[in-house]
Structure 1
Amino acid sequence: MRKMQGEEFDSLVSFFDDMARTKWLGAVHDELKQASGSWEEKSVLDVGCGTGRLLLRGVEEASMLTGVDLSSEMIKASKQNFFFLNRSNKSHFSEGDACNLAFEDDSFDLSLSTCVMFLLPEPEAGMKEMIRVTKKGGKVVMLNPSLQMDQMAAFSYAKKHNMSGFEQTSLLKWSNVSTKRHRYSPDQLSEKLKGLGAKETKHVEVLDGLAIITVASL
């Protein structure tokens, strides 16, 4: 599988920003935030931060919020979103490759990644990097599609929950991409993360089991 280029995502800034503000993904982000525990006075990293919407949820708690994305346009949008809320002083955004993060070992208390690891040609390389830059005693928290996620299952979910318009379209697009990349069971994720050094893992099923929030304690 070829390496991804940042330019592939530059034109999708509006789509991803709108998707991050949908009811379905917004609710998942809220669940992930809760599953990750308190961000109080913590240094938090978001790998594949998109337009920074997830990090904004902890802007009043965390000591510093850092976002990395392959797309320069996503980084511009993240900086803009924090600037509008007068929180630029608590954030740092930069272009970067999830599989080659430009940070020292043990740099962050908490590392997050949503809708990203499953896209990578080699997701294990991204997971390994997240664990490397996270302090011992810290956590790595991810969102990935489950083995149940596919176009038909996503459509059934959308119908069940009376989704329409962009809410439905964005979920169906995510399901379509996931079937072409990587999907996981909780056991598969636990095996990979423990093999990379995680001490403990727990999983929270979201979207009626179509996706998994994974919390790995280091």
Structure 2
Amino acid sequence: MKGQEWYQADDIAAEYDDKRFSRGGQLIDQREKRAVLDAVSPLEGKRVLEIACGTGRFTIMMADRGGDVVGLDISAAMLQQGREKADRAGVSDTLEFIRGDAARLPFPDDHFDCVVAMRFFHLADDPQAFLAEMRRVSRGRIVFDTFNRFSTRSIYNWALPMGSRLYSRREVEALADSQDLEIVDAQHDFILPYGLYRITPNFLASPLRRVGSGVGSIPKADRLASVSFWTTELE
């Protein structure tokens, strides 16, 4: 995985949420959470695994809505942040955080109703191998997102500290097909890239989002979206 050492640093974990999901980044957080809920709801009685759960943004949300959730991450510092947040949210009884490697998931086959991986595949050095592990432990849905090759993100991707793996839609379709997964839903969003929202003050972020969403609603304009949310099921 790209940036593995950087990601596990204590200071990165301490500042992760504030740097990415404050100011205009709150709009990113809201949109990503809506995409996850669209894909996995209803959650009551479901056993869910989130890979690369970080500080628990999605795990806590899913546990709060009735899921029996496991969050797995390589970073002990990120997991500690997640445990503290889960305690404050009162969901520790239905949420377990485990340190582990997404390439070798410590679970038996068909163990979860749903597996979620957000902000993960852009750092994957072997996405097919990671998806194969996700498919092995899921008996139902697999949900993930990708950053898109033909989008505004490609303009500045080279300047990012770790860069990102960018995908075309055909590549994602081929990736799903290689694991006998059917894409049952795909949402494409953010004509304006994530990075722009993160540096935008709150009072400008919402108008900026409306402009981006308006452009994206034009027929075929979503082909320029920088992010895609994919919901797949076992064929």
Paired residue for 1:168?
Answer: none
Deviation at 1:182, TM superposition (A): 0.9
Instruction: State which structure, 1 or 2, has the greater radius of gyration over its C-alpha atoms.
Output: 2
Q: Does 1:192 align with 2:175?
A: yes
More divergent stretch after superposition (193-202 vs 84-93): 193-202
CA contact (8 A) 2:14 2:81 kept: no
Large movers: runs of 4+ above 6 Å: none
Q: Does 1:46 align with 2:62?
A: no
Percent identity reads 21
CA contact (8 A) 2:6 2:12 kept: no
Paired residue for 1:28?
Answer: 32
Paired residue for 1:176?
Answer: 160
Matched to 1:141, the amino acid is: V
Distance of aligned partners of 1:193 and 1:151 in 2 relative to their CA distance in 1, 3 Å threshold: closer
CA contact (8 A) 2:2 2:123 kept: no
Q: TM-score normalized by structure 1? A: 0.79
Tell me the SS of whatever aligns to 1:45: strand
Paired residue for 2:14?
Answer: 14
Deviation at 1:9, TM superposition (A): 4.3
Matched to 1:106, the amino acid is: D
Q: Which runs of 5+ in 1 are unaligned?
A: 154-171
Paired residue for 1:160?
Answer: none
Matched to 1:121, the amino acid is: D
CA contact (8 A) 1:5 1:70 kept: no
Within 5 Å, which residues of 2 pair with 1:118-129? 118-129=122-133
Matched to 2:229, the amino acid is: I
Deviation at 1:31, TM superposition (A): 2.3
Matched to 2:226, the amino acid is: L
Q: TM-score normalized by structure 2? A: 0.74
Tell me the SS of whatever aligns to 1:139: strand
Tell me the SS of whatever aligns to 1:12: helix
Deviation at 1:194, TM superposition (A): 1.6
CA distance in 2, matches of 1:24, 1:7: 23
Deviation at 1:215, TM superposition (A): 0.7
Within 5 Å, which residues of 2 pair with 1:37-76? 37-76=41-80
Residues 53-106 of structure 1 show CA distances to partners (whole Å, capped at 9, x for unaligned) of 112222233341110001001111111111112211101101111111111111
Within 5 Å, which residues of 2 pair with 1:84-99? 84-99=88-103
Deviation at 1:11, TM superposition (A): 2.7
Q: How many residues are aligned here?
A: 196
CA distance in 1, matches of 2:232, 2:148: 17
Greater relative contact order (Cα 8 A, min sep 6): structure 1 or 2? Answer: 2
Residues 90-146 of structure 1 show CA distances to partners (whole Å, capped at 9, x for unaligned) of 0110111111111111111111111112202212221111111101xx110001111
Paired residue for 1:145?
Answer: 147
Deviation at 1:23, TM superposition (A): 1.9
Q: Does 1:217 align with 2:221?
A: no
Matched to 1:139, the amino acid is: R
Distance of aligned partners of 1:5 and 1:202 in 2 relative to their CA distance in 1, 3 Å threshold: same
RMSD (Å) for aligned C-alpha atoms:
2.5
Tell me the SS of whatever aligns to 2:167: coil
Distance of aligned partners of 1:120 and 1:9 in 2 relative to their CA distance in 1, 3 Å threshold: farther
